[in-house]
Structure 1
Amino acid sequence: MSKNLPYIIPASQSEVQEGFTNYQITYQFYQEVHTRLELQRHREWYYATAEQHRQDLKKMRGELNILQWFRRS
């Protein structure tokens, strides 16, 4: 069992630190990619919704306002 121990435990603290550093960099990279994708999806949704609202407003401005007839009297 003691012969397998060097293969289980890293040889030095620097190797362990390097492994954690690589893990942290990789994790931060994927978090950044995820955040940017979510932001891009939100922007696309926002612009599509805003365009739909502009079209609805344009359509509503072109329609007759029936309530205006009742307010005149």
Structure 2
Amino acid sequence: MGKCTLPPNSCLNCGYLRTNVNFLPVFKDELERTVKVLAKAKQYAWEVQISMNETIKENLEKLVQSLEVTNE
């Protein structure tokens, strides 16, 4: 698609995202880190970070679930 100028994690919302089960560990790791960031954001009531990371978490959960089904 060429050079992407979107911020990090935007690819999780991109209709052009293509991946496979080889990247499942990467997405699981990213999900784990996102859950930690989200917990800290909630602890300090950082509303913007909560909103952004909730969306990232939901998208990662869907992606991981989809890849796990594919992998079975």
TM over 0.5: no
Name the structure with the higher helix share: 1
| Larger RCO (CA within 8 A; separation ≥ 6) | 2
TM-score (norm 2): 0.36
